[in-house]
A and B are shown apart, each in its own frame.
Chain A
Amino acid sequence: MEFWYSEKHTNDIKFSIRVERQLYSGKSEYQKIDVFESKEVGRFLVLDEFLMLTEKDEFIYHEMISHVAMAVHPHIKKVLVIGGGDGGVVRELIQYDSIEHIDLVEIDSKVIEVCMEFFPTITQSLQERRVKVYHKDGLRFVRGCQNEYDLIIVDSTDPFGPGEGLFTLEFYGNCYKALKEDGILVNQHESPFYTEDALACQKAHKKIYATFPICKIYQAHIPTYPSGHWLFGFASKKYHPLRDLQEERWNKQKIKCKYYTTTLHKGAFYLPAYVEELLKNVE
């Protein structure tokens, strides 16, 4: 007998992974949490019936959401990660000796608990000495911060559900306030491809564009996410993601990556025409 995990990428498109077995199923105060094991993509985490990460391709997402800003801003010392309870972003960040402190704000402590059990190699990063974990609402947390962080990374779920507050103008505005005068905000920016995702992507861009002086979008190919074509937002008060890219400095640090390179960094900001158009329409 065959078991398949299926996820609706749209009302009319389904994406399926054959499952060897289900490792965990539970419900937290905020969402449904499931962990499956598969042959092709290894273990994978599902929140509220949306796939969040697989062992096979999580490196793409986590490297791309972390290293782009790190290669631009020359002295990032204090970082805030919102969401990201799986620990993937923090795993990337703790490779940098220059980072002194990382605050991670994950509203759902159950996500961390479950990931610690089933994805220990990823989530163990949260136990590193420079990392402090808060179980709080992300919007609430940034509201209380002013001129504090060099980098904020928003590793959120989709904008339907507990992550909704992290796609709002009030959130981006409060992030702006929480960043130092040369700070950078990087967020997972949904996919431009299917209609509903594209709309969410446009809405987010419109709000960030209204909040930050520099607001650029870059892309990556993430096979298990809807359409596989995924975007990230790079919003900044001072640094331009290409003009201020410090290739030599970054490469000297010998950070180990499987996807990110400084060459790819440059390419990632060159978007397909239809995506450029989509974004331009809300600028």
Chain B
Amino acid sequence: MKDKRNQNCAPILDALQDMRKGRLVPFDVPGHKRGRGNPELTAFLGQQCIEVDVNSMKPLDNLAHPISIIREAERLMADAFGAEDAFLMVGGTTSSVQAMIMSVAKPGEKIIVPRNVHRSVMAAMVLCGAIPVYVNPECDERLGIALGMQLSSIQKAIAKHRDAKAIFVNNPTYYGICSNLKAIVDLAHKAGMKCIVDEAHGTHFYFNDNLPISAMAAGADMAAVSMHKSGGSLTQSSVLLVGKGMQAGYVRQIINLTQTTSASYLLLSSLDISRRNLALRGKASFDKVIRLAEYAREEINEIGNYYAYSSELKNGDSIFDFDRTKLSVYTLDIGLAGIEVYDKLRDEYNIQIEFGDLGNILAYISIGDREREIERLVGALAEIRRRFKKSKVGLMQQEYLEPIVAMTPQQAFYSNKKSLPLQKTEGFICSEFVMCYPPGIPILAPGERITKEILAYIQYAKEKGCNMTGPEDAKIENLNVII
């Protein structure tokens, strides 16, 4: 086994601090020149911050072709996550997901994906021309959420599409549901396919033994990890991990196709510092996160009518494991949709949670949380029940609408189309995305046929105040369809 690098190091941080001390005279971009050229921005962000908003230069390496400090930081990252290699990403986990897909599939090649994938996956398919083979995720009837991938469905998809290049797994889901990742990786490898994992919500899996298995530990070929979610780095920073089965050089080329050539050192240093923090203190930090989430769950379930779910949902397959740091709460039994509870928490109680869908809310618990904020959340939920509880009648359950794929996402996206009023689109092939965001699971993707059920669902979600995104017409009164 190769020697592990010293996780106390933070090479990007050190280099930026040296640069600051060195009082280098800038005749390069950015033009604000350490903030002097934009005093209002400097006053807003602070001198400390703006001083390190600098461009690539010899002592600071270059993200496109890293050879010194960035490369060293990537190696430290790979070690910390138990990966063969790692890439620092500055275009969000969206960019990591897209790099994964483009690294495993060429135009016209198939990838097996669960329907409940992030929009970034569909976007990657539009970009590279890959063909999605959907695996229907099982849906929990009571909670109305999509679960993990069932092994039997994957086996069927493999048998039917032996030419597929990879299996894409979303693990954990937004709600904390985990699939049997190890078994899926084995199925993929036996069929000669890669297994790539959208692990946007699973950074913490790498740093605490009491959490579900991580993609790298399960032997996956690649994983997209949102360091900025549970890892604590700045928004838009992310990490792409690769395992033994990948050509790291090729992955780098793919990344460079779409990656900025002016990578932000604020983002890069935040990845470096967060990695060090997680490697050194992650275990204790996530022990605390688990404790806070478990406490909140107990207290919320004590209130009555709310259901904060956890490991008891495990069924050995589509809910193989549960991420106990996730605080997902089913709200329909108080007579309120998740989105209504979400709105009340923010508008009345000044508490912003991660999202609300039709039946659930998700409060994100992280390394930044303290007992006192948990008390506020629980106290507010108790009050919402006391003040607004009503009978459950009249609420529609969220349901999984099976897509009818009529053409590839890329063909559909670039076909000739016209805009039709929503109610007149039944039977047409949609050329754009429609999704309820968050969590960003497509109701329609380019190339899919529009049905009566889908139209009814869009109408209902709109009425419930869900944030609908995707279509060119932001109000979603019209949809683009293929002619």
A: residues with CB less than 8 A from B are: 137, 139-140, 143, 162, 164-165, 168-171, 173-174, 177
Q: Which residues of B contact A164 (CB under 8 A)?
A: 372
With A143-B382, A168-B349, A168-B350 as known contacts, state yes or no: A173 contacts B375, CB within 8 Å.
no
30 residue pairs from A and B, CB less than 8 Å apart: A137-B371, A137-B375, A139-B372, A139-B376, A139-B379, A143-B299, A143-B375, A143-B379, A143-B382, A162-B372, A164-B372, A165-B372, A165-B375, A165-B376, A168-B349, A168-B350, A168-B379, A168-B380, A169-B348, A169-B380, A169-B383, A170-B376, A170-B379, A170-B380, A173-B379, A173-B383, A173-B386, A174-B379, A174-B383, A177-B386
A16 to B110 alpha-carbon distance, docked (Å): 74
With the chains together, A143 CA to B350 CA distance in Å? 18
Least CB separation from B381: chain A residue: A170
Assess the B372–A168 pair: CB atoms within 8 A. Answer: no
B372:A173 contact, CB within 8 angstroms:
no
Q: Mark B224-236, 1 if CB is under 8 A from A, else 0.
A: 0000000000000
Closest chain-A Cβ to B118's Cβ sits at a distance in Å of 33
Extra contacts, 6 of them, besides A168-B349, A169-B380, A177-B386 (Cβ < 8 A), are A139-B375, A143-B382, A162-B372, A170-B376, A170-B382, A173-B383
Per-residue CB contact flags for chain B residues 350-364 toward chain A (1 = under 8 Å, else 0) read 100000000000000
CB distance from A175 to the nearest CB of B (A): 10
CA distance A27 to B349 in the complex (A): 30
What distance in Å separates the Cβ of A106 from its nearest Cβ neighbour in chain B? 14
Q: How many residues of chain B get a CB closer than 8 Å to chain A's CBs?
A: 15
Binding site for A on B (CB under 8 A): 299, 348-350, 371-372, 375-376, 378-380, 382-383, 386-387
Given B371, B372, B382, which contacts A174 in the complex, CB threshold below 8 Å? B382
**Which residues from chain A contact B350 at a C-beta distance below 8 Å?**
168-169
Instruction: Return chain A residues, CB-CB under 8 Å to B371.
Output: 137
In the complex, what residues of B have CB within 8 A of residue A168's CB? 349-350, 376, 379-380
Name the residue of chain A whose CB is nearest to the CB of B371.
Answer: A137
Q: Which residues of A contact B380 (CB under 8 A)?
A: 168-170
A35 CB to nearest chain B CB (Å): 25
CB distance from A209 to the nearest CB of B (A): 14
A239 to B132, CA, bound (A): 68
In this complex, the member of B378, B382, B386 whose beta carbon has the largest number of chain A beta carbons within 10 angstroms is B382
CA distance A95 to B382 in the complex (A): 35
Known: A137-B372, A174-B383. A169 touches B349 (CB 8 A): yes
Cα distance A162–B349 in the bound complex, in angstroms? 17
* A140 and B375 contact, CB distance less than 8 A: yes
Please indicate the chain B residues that have their CB under 8 angstroms from the CB of A173 in the complex.
379, 383, 386-387
Whole-angstrom distance from the CB of B456 to the nearest CB of chain A?
36
- A162 and B348 CA atoms in complex are apart in Å by 21
When distances are taken between beta carbons in the complex, the residues of chain A under 8 Å from B348 are: 169
Q: How far is the CB of A48 from chain B (nearest CB, A)?
A: 14
Q: How far is the CB of A141 from chain B (nearest CB, A)?
A: 10
Q: How far is the CA of A6 from the CA of B338 in the complex (A)?
A: 49
With a cutoff of 8 Å between Cβ atoms, the chain B residues found around residue A143 in the complex are 299, 375, 378-379, 382
Report yes or no: A170 in contact with B372, Cβ–Cβ below 8 A: no
Chain A residues with CB under 8 Å of B378's CB are 140, 143
CB distance from B259 to the nearest CB of A (A): 42
- The distance in angstroms between the C-alpha atoms of A209 and B383, with both chains bound, is 16
Give the residues in chain A near B387, CB-CB below 8 Å.
173
Contacts of A165 in B (CB 8 A): 372, 375-376, 379
Provide the bound-state CA to CA distance between A81 and B210, in Å.
Answer: 40
Closest 6 CB pairs of A and B: A170-B379, A173-B383, A170-B380, A139-B375, A139-B379, A170-B383
CB neighbours (8 Å) of A162 from chain B are: 372
User: B302 CB to closest chain A CB, in angstroms?
Assistant: 9
A177 to B380 alpha-carbon distance, docked (Å) = 13
Taking the closest CB of chain B, its distance from the CB of A112, in whole angstroms, is 19
A118 to B379, CA, bound (A): 35
* Shortest CB distance B372–A (Å): 5
